[in-house]
Structure 1
């Protein structure tokens, strides 16, 4: 069954995590992704270990359902191939530093001349305006600038970034939403447009609650570890063998927790009778809860709490999540045929469509795997393709990890 973006062609000259994550979303939704990579090296994420049969796991994660063509964009003939691709494309995506695409002859105004209906997405570190617009920035750098690292972790703990590419993949989602919105506008009007987003914008948006809190109170948000600024008890509490995450956001849930713990007297304790008071005395409550939890294992407590309707979970290791029954039940893992990796599986997009579902149809491509095929579809004959290969304008092959 064709995905909702079937028939949409995307020229993707992105690298690293953010841009390829964006085009992965479009690919899973059925778009034809032409992934343009550099000679010899390809996408930077190909070299990000650890490696699985010579393939970087970052690359494997976010480059399924794509076709790879290697083009030397420093060569005039290489840029001409891009122009030929853009003539037939619906979307163009880049995640270069500020104005680099323009300097390469691949900016929005240039490509709009070639294809006025093109939807052009620029995904950057800091956006297109402001004093930081020319800075390069990776996920962790943007986390620091957006205030995320400043409030991450427990009070008194070492500085720590959120240990996933939260802004890379977050900005990828916003970029995908922007592109799909622009395509809908194009369908109605025939008009293309420029879509912009950035890691920094994503970060600032996601700390919005904390910014409003500061505006309202004038107080800097504190680090709360696994806890919550506004609720108590809320966080990780140690059972006999592992921590249990418990989330209590109202008096009804607190009553159920007290019943499970055999501490109904807490309901009339002046320190705990309302949420604001529980927040004020959160440390006393934490110690009292952990003293009780030491009597059983995390799994035993989670079973009891779940039965009572109290939101809770064992704090799981990644190895446990990979084998989790819930992930299996909702089909989060999709098996994909790979030429070198047996039992290769990837996590699907975290939503489902009942009529036109997203799919993972093919494994991430080898570097330049589809170069000849893409050029042939553009109308280049075999002699011209061989000429371009001989000049190094394009490549058709995979550089092993040890040669990168």
Structure 2
């Protein structure tokens, strides 16, 4: 099949074909980036239920908000890969695609001969990306794992939250999203390598490896202190003042990382004498006397509204923000100015606003073309495009192999 017969896109990856065998959050977080960049992404789903994320509420007119957020710009085909005929369809597609992405438990695809080694033998130009919970090797590689489990395993949960509370998971699925990003970085690097050599390769990442990498500062500093870091809430162990402070109405977040910023802060607060206080002259001093400084700041900030202080601090060039709720983020003028939530058309909902990729490319911009697909919305269209005959489609449909 010729590249010219593909759906036309204008992004930087236009012409790249991606066979998406992923589900839930991590894998689709990777393939949605490729889709937004212009790749043709064909999402393979199981019969009846499809991707597990379709069952994750809350729902918008019956459609999962989780699924809507990270499956736009994709085509959904339903293929039962537990059957020999379904496995053969996947192999036929993989011979014509540039990239395969999967996040099955280790060993599952091997028994179907849909693993990377098998598919790359048939298509030496294929880039095969495996995204797992624990990585390729070791006794835990066969174990299931989700974002919160790996936040616990890699230490992230032990440093998240406040000192007064039990360990907390980060409020967003950072390891799912992070491992998706590493997958894309690997895929893009492998595509460049293929341009130079003509060959694809096997690549992989995992939630565990992502979590360990995110902990790089703490794992390195432990070697200096031999002490386990503790949760800091909104504070930062290396800087002061750094964290949230109570104004007359809302919480204000300050980020003061050096002495120059501290001097700007105290000038904006009309307390320049604090810069000469021996307890607060240097950042190292302020860390020791963090509690005393925080008490002074809270007393000062409590006299006026958050808006009042934001105006003064921003005029002084002090990094700060209101701690905003989701509703406030949606109404944020800066979000609207950057067009971070464009509307995308959906076949049943009509339209929905979804965050775009946080990347700006002047000559080959990313784009939101279509909303997340209905289950099996493109099965027949895609399989015809890739050489499956009408007779075969009818036979596969009759057997329940496709929907």
After TM superposition, the score normalised by the length of structure 1 is: 0.96
Cα distance, 1:381 vs. partner? 2.5
Indicate whether 1:226 and 2:234 are aligned: yes
Cα distance, 1:165 vs. partner? 0.7
| Alpha-carbon distance between aligned partners in 1 of 2:141 and 2:65, rounded to the nearest angstrom | 30
- Report if the CA contact (8 A) 2:159-2:167 is conserved: no
**Corresponding residue SS for 1:272:** coil
Out of 371, 380, 389, the residue aligned to residue 388 of structure 2 is 380
| Alpha-carbon distance between aligned partners in 2 of 1:9 and 1:342, rounded to the nearest angstrom | 27
Q: Which residue in the other structure is 1:16 paired with?
A: 24
- Report if the CA contact (8 A) 2:301-2:309 is conserved: yes
**Corresponding residue SS for 1:360:** coil
| Alpha-carbon distance between aligned partners in 1 of 2:105 and 2:351, rounded to the nearest angstrom | 38
Within 5 Å, give how 1:345-384 maps onto structure 2.
345-384=353-392
5+ residue gaps in structure 1? 396-404
Q: How many pairs does the alignment contain?
A: 395
5+ residue gaps in structure 2? 1-8
**Corresponding residue SS for 2:329:** helix
Out of 11, 15, 33, the residue aligned to residue 25 of structure 1 is 33
* RMSD, aligned CA: 1.0
| Alpha-carbon distance between aligned partners in 2 of 1:267 and 1:75, rounded to the nearest angstrom | 72
Indicate whether 1:213 and 2:221 are aligned: yes
Q: Which residue in the other structure is 2:4 paired with?
A: none
**Corresponding residue SS for 2:345:** coil
| Alpha-carbon distance between aligned partners in 1 of 2:375 and 2:135, rounded to the nearest angstrom | 30
| Alpha-carbon distance between aligned partners in 1 of 2:61 and 2:355, rounded to the nearest angstrom | 19
Cα distance, 1:254 vs. partner? 0.6
Indicate whether 1:278 and 2:286 are aligned: yes
Out of 73, 88, 99, the residue aligned to residue 80 of structure 1 is 88
Q: Which residue in the other structure is 2:5 paired with?
A: none
Q: Which residue in the other structure is 1:288 paired with?
A: 296
Within 5 Å, give how 1:241-260 maps onto structure 2.
241-260=249-268
Q: Which residue in the other structure is 1:314 paired with?
A: 322
Indicate whether 1:103 and 2:111 are aligned: yes
Indicate whether 1:201 and 2:209 are aligned: yes
Q: Which residue in the other structure is 2:120 paired with?
A: 112
Deviates more, 1:307-316 or 1:340-349: 340-349
> 1:219-258, CA deviations, whole angstroms, 9 ceiling, x for partnerless residues?
2112110010100000011101110000111111111111
Q: Which residue in the other structure is 1:400 paired with?
A: none
Cα distance, 1:343 vs. partner? 4.2
